[in-house]
Structure 1
C-alpha cells in the first residue's frame, strides 16, 4: 500500500523538479535563421523562481563548447555554426535543443525559435545586408496569405496549437541593377504555454474538523514567466472559487460533504487560454473512524510480531533437539596402556 504511493510521489517530484529547473536557450535577435556574417547572442534562460549563482555549459549537436557563461555570443556567423544548441546549469539540468540555421544565401524567412499559445508571431523575409530589396509575397501551405507589397514582415496574431504550418516568402532582391525573385521557407511549431498543471493537497484523507489546503501549481516556460495567471477551483464539477490571482483554496473545517473530486483551472491572456488539471479525490473520515483505523493497525502489527516470535522459538527448540546426545548413550571403555592387569578394571 505504501510502496505504490511512494513511487507515485517520487515520480511526481521528479516531474516537478524537471519542469521547474529545465532551462531554455533564447536568441537575440529572436530569429531561428540568420545570414552568414550576422551576429547573434544565445542566452541560457532559467526559471526565475529558482535562479541561483549557476555556472553554465554549452553544447552544439551534443558536443561541448569551450564556454561557461550565461550568454554565448557569435559575432560573425558562418554556415558551420548551424546546429542544435543546448545549455546546462551547474544543477545538472540540460535544456532542450534550440535550432539555429546560418544561411549562406541572399534571402531567409525568419521566425522566433520559441512560439507559445497566444503569441503574436512575426515572420520576416530578410535579405543579405547591402542589397536593396523590392516587394515580397507570403504563402502558408502554398496558399498566398499576403500579396506582393513593400513590407517584408507578416504578423500572425494569437496563434494556437492548430497554427502549425509551413510558410514561404518570395522577395525581389537587387543584384547588379537587376531584380531577382528569391524564395525562402520556414515552419511554425506552437508550444503549450502551460505544459504542466497539477492540483496538490495537504492531505488526501482527513478527519472531520481538519484544515486542508489545495494548491494549483502551473509551470510555464522561463521565456513567458511574466504572463499573468488566474486560478479557479471546482468540487464535483461545480465552481467553488472564481478566477483570481490566488492559486490556493482552503477548507478550514472538513465535513463529510467536502468529500469528492476536486479540480483547478488556470486562465491566461485575458481568458483566451484555459487549462484544467486532473482531478484528485479527498476522503473525509469521522474522528472515531480514524482512531479505530489506528487501533486496527497497531493490533495487526503486534500480532505479526508475536507470530514471528513464536516461529523463532519453535525453530530454536527443534534445532536443540537435533544436536543434543541422548542420556543412555554408552560411554567408551578406558584401558590403561602397557598394564594388562588393568584391562578389566
Structure 2
C-alpha cells in the first residue's frame, strides 16, 4: 500500500492541502484548472511532490500543474504528499459537459465566505439569473450570475439551484436551464467541553480547567483562542492557552464554570456547557489532627485566661491570735 509512505523516519509530518485555481470543484470540458499542493510558508522549497488521482499515481513531480483542456477523464479525487510530509485529504474535481453548472468551493467551513457562480458554457451568452435555496428565491439579477455570502454558518447548509436563460445562436432564441448543488457547511471546530483536573478538588489544592475542542482536519492549523468564566464573570481573557489554573483553591471557588473558543478573527465562536465545581473541605487524618490540636490549644488558652482572671482570696492574719 502506498499509504505507508506517509510515515517518514526523522521528519515531522506536515499535512498539505490540495487547492484548485479557480477554486471551484466543478468546471466545463475544455476549461483549464491549476492544481496546487499547498504546504504552507514553512515548507522547504527543495522537497519532492507526489500526486495521486483516485488512489493511483499521477506522474507529476512539481508543486503545481495545469490541466489545460479538461475532459471527463480528469474528474476524480486528487491527493498529494511531499517527501517530508503526510498525505493531503482528497479533493474532488468534476468536469461537466452540461450547458449550465452551479460552481462552488470544494469544501465550506463555518466562518468562510461563500461564492456561488451560475456558470454557462462558452458560446452561449446568458441573462436573468435566479438563485434558490431549498426551493425559495434568494437572489435574482438580469446580469449578475454570482451569489456571495460574507460569512457562513450551519444555517447555510441546504440545496442550492440556479436558473439562467442562454442564447442559442442557431435559432437566436433564449432557452431556460437549471443547475443544482448541495452545500454542507462543515464544522470548523467542535463545541468545547470544559474539563477539570484532578477529578476532585479539596481546599488548598491546585485546580486546572481545560477547554477541550477539536479542529477539522483540513483546518488544523487554524489559530484558536480560549476564555474562561466563573458564574458568568470572566476570569481569564481570550488567549492561546486552553487551560485556566487556580492555585490553592478555596471554598469560595466553588461555582459554575464555562469556556469560550473563538478564531483569532472572532468570526466563529462557541461556548461550552456549564460545569459546577465543588471545592471540598479536606477531611484527611492530617487535617483532623490539626483540628484536634487547634481545639486543645484553644481549650488551654481559655483555661489560662479563666485562671488569670479568677479572684484571689487573702490568707487569714495572725494578729488576731
TM-score (ref. length: structure 2): 0.65
**Does 1:63 pair with 2:87?**
no
State the alpha-carbon separation in 2 of the partners of residues 203 and 75 from structure 1.
60
Aligned partner of 2:155 in structure 1 is 162
Q: 3-state DSSP class of the match of 1:116?
A: coil
State the alpha-carbon separation in 1 of the partners of residues 182 and 120 from structure 2.
18
Out of 233, 251, 254, the residue aligned to residue 248 of structure 2 is 254
For these two proteins, the number of residue pairs brought into alignment is 270
Which residues of 2 match residues 9-158 of structure 1 at below 5 A? Answer: 22-46=15-39, 51-53=42-44, 55-90=48-83, 93-158=86-151
Change (3 A) 1:248 1:96: closer
Please say if residues 225 and 242 of structure 2, whose CA atoms lie closer than 8 Å, have aligned partners that are also in contact. no
Out of 183, 192, 213, the residue aligned to residue 187 of structure 2 is 192
TM-score (ref. length: structure 1): 0.61
State the alpha-carbon separation in 1 of the partners of residues 90 and 165 from structure 2.
33
Unaligned runs of 5+ in 1: 1-19, 292-345
State the alpha-carbon separation in 1 of the partners of residues 274 and 221 from structure 2.
27
Superposed displacement of residue 68, structure 1: 3.5
State the alpha-carbon separation in 2 of the partners of residues 92 and 23 from structure 1.
7
Superposed displacement of residue 194, structure 1: 1.8
Please say if residues 24 and 222 of structure 1, whose CA atoms lie closer than 8 Å, have aligned partners that are also in contact. no
Superposed displacement of residue 167, structure 1: 1.5
Q: 3-state DSSP class of the match of 1:162?
A: helix
Change (3 A) 1:203 1:172: same
State the alpha-carbon separation in 2 of the partners of residues 87 and 228 from structure 1.
24
Please say if residues 137 and 148 of structure 1, whose CA atoms lie closer than 8 Å, have aligned partners that are also in contact. yes
Aligned partner of 1:232 in structure 2 is 227
Aligned partner of 1:174 in structure 2 is 167
**Does 1:241 pair with 2:235?**
yes
CA distances 1:51-71 after superposition (whole Å, capped 9, x unpaired): 543644322222222224333
Superposed displacement of residue 140, structure 1: 2.0
Please say if residues 232 and 239 of structure 1, whose CA atoms lie closer than 8 Å, have aligned partners that are also in contact. no
State the alpha-carbon separation in 1 of the partners of residues 220 and 123 from structure 2.
38
State the alpha-carbon separation in 2 of the partners of residues 158 and 275 from structure 1.
15
State the alpha-carbon separation in 2 of the partners of residues 35 and 224 from structure 1.
28
State the alpha-carbon separation in 2 of the partners of residues 68 and 210 from structure 1.
57
Q: Which moved more, 1:30-39 or 1:260-269?
A: 260-269
What is the aligned-residue RMSD (CA, Å)? 4.1
Unaligned runs of 5+ in 2: 1-12, 287-321
Change (3 A) 1:214 1:42: farther
